[in-house]
Amino acid sequence: MRFITPIVLKVLVLSLINSNFFFAQTPTYQFSRKINLPTGEGKWDYQKIDDGKLYVSHADRIHIIDLKTEKQIGEITGLNGVHGIAPVKDFNKGYITNGKDNSITVFDLNTYKILNTITIEGKKADAILYDKFSNRVFVFNNGSGNAIVIDPKTDKILDKIEMGGAPEFAASNEKGSIFNNNEESNEVFEIDSKTLKVKNKFSLAPNEIPTGLAIDVKNNRLFSVCRKTKTMVVMDATTGKIVATLAIGAGVDGVIYDPKLRLIITSNGEGNATIIQQVSADNYTVSQTLTTSKGQKTIVFDAKNHNLFLTGANYQEDGKTPATGTFGVSVYSIK
């Protein structure tokens, strides 16, 4: 009888960990419940989780939900075409993009009181990101092809970065680089968060209309979802090399990366979410197509319990107009 030495056993275990076999038990998600948010009417966009709270954009307001109770604990109203939210705990302030009047609303993270309104030079203020590495807030203007940089200490505008095209979602590597999808030029822009200069432009061709963007900081991989081609592109964030391309659902807008489960999940507006297992830095496989609801196109997740949150409403008979009083957040949990 042959005995397996400890060294050989260790090699076998490591091989299994880095193989598809290890992911045979990839978590399966299912619909769990809905958090009803009946006030307010109109479109919805980004969500953000920070410090145990879920911030939900909804046309002229932000809903604030306590994740422990899943109850609304606050609401900021009087906004104008909300897109993104960036809580900045270091300064006890939050920043909201108003796409219709090109302004940024600043609010207190504890009281939710509006502190300031910053008028910016740009059109359709959309994605917003707080970069902890540089202690700066970046606002991406989808309608004017530029980014505005704000100092959260003073709420003063530091600079404007010209990019061209139509900037969309952004992500930080937490080491000095901000990455941003451009849905018109089909590129990923890399911005130096200290010098505020464009360092690189990486082509996503032949993939088109990139919207959502997520990052695996450890493996230095970007996950860019492209609406027109219905694909998710995995890119080396240093070289811009495309290392994998996977088919996803239609109408995609958002994408998240869960580093503990090594899952990438895309929210597809047609009514599903594509769940992708990261086998290794350059190897990926679709593990589930989760049925959601039509119009649920943005997504966030709770790192503590891995719950997924997608916003949306029921539609009237025309299939386009949200039905009054049906807006809310759907929660999807691991079976």
What one-character-per-residue DSSP string does 91-153 give?
A: GTEEEEEETTTTEEEEEETTT--EEEEEE-SSSSEEEEEEETTTTEEEEEETTTTEEEEEETT
What pLDDT score was predicted for residue 115?
Answer: 98
Q: Does the predicted model carry a pTM greater than 0.85?
A: yes
Long-range contact pairs involving 270-278 (C-beta distance under 8 Å, separation at least 24): 270/294, 271/295, 271/296, 273/29, 273/249, 273/299, 273/308, 273/310, 273/332, 274/232, 274/246, 274/247, 274/248, 274/249, 275/26, 275/29, 276/232, 276/246, 277/23, 277/26, 278/216
Average pLDDT of adjacent 10-residue blocks, the chain of 335 residues: 50 45 73 95 95 97 97 97 97 97 97 97 96 98 97 97 97 97 98 98 98 98 98 98 98 98 98 98 98 97 97 90 93 97
Kindly provide the residue ranges of all beta strands, DSSP E only, lying in 248-318, ordered along the sequence.
252-258, 263-268, 272-280, 283-291, 299-301, 308-312
The structure tokens listed for 9 are: 């056993």
Task: Give the start-to-end residue ranges of the domains of the chain.
Answer: 25-43+209-335, 45-203
**CATH 2.130.10.10 describes domain 25-43+209-335:** yes
What pLDDT score was predicted for residue 329?
Answer: 98
Are the CB atoms for 105 and 112 separated by under 8 Å?
Answer: no
What pLDDT score was predicted for residue 6?
Answer: 55
Smallest CA-to-CA distance from 327 within 51, 48, 60 is with: 60
Q: Do domains 25-43+209-335 and 45-203 have the same CATH topology?
A: yes
Smallest CA-to-CA distance from 92 within 67, 72, 112 is with: 112
One-letter identity of residue 55: Y
Rounded-to-integer distance, Cα 306 and Cα 185, Å: 34
Over its C-alpha atoms, the chain yields an Rg (Å, rounded) of 20
What pLDDT score was predicted for residue 56?
Answer: 98
What pLDDT score was predicted for residue 303?
Answer: 96
Are the CB atoms for 238 and 270 separated by under 8 Å?
Answer: no
What values do phi and psi take at 75, rounded to 5?
-155, 130
What pLDDT score was predicted for residue 252?
Answer: 98
What pLDDT score was predicted for residue 296?
Answer: 97
What pLDDT score was predicted for residue 261?
Answer: 98
Smallest CA-to-CA distance from 235 within 266, 274, 195, 205 is with: 205
Smallest CA-to-CA distance from 249 within 227, 221, 264 is with: 227
Longest dimension (CA), the chain: 78
The structure tokens listed for 139 are: 């606002």
Pairing mode, strands 221-226 and 231-236:
antiparallel
Are the CB atoms for 262 and 306 separated by under 8 Å?
Answer: no
What pLDDT score was predicted for residue 2?
Answer: 47
**CATH 3.90.550.10 describes domain 45-203:** no
Per-residue 3-state assignment (H helix, E strand, C coil) for 227-247? CCCCEEEEEECCCCCEEEEEE
Name 107's bridge partners. Answer: 94, 114
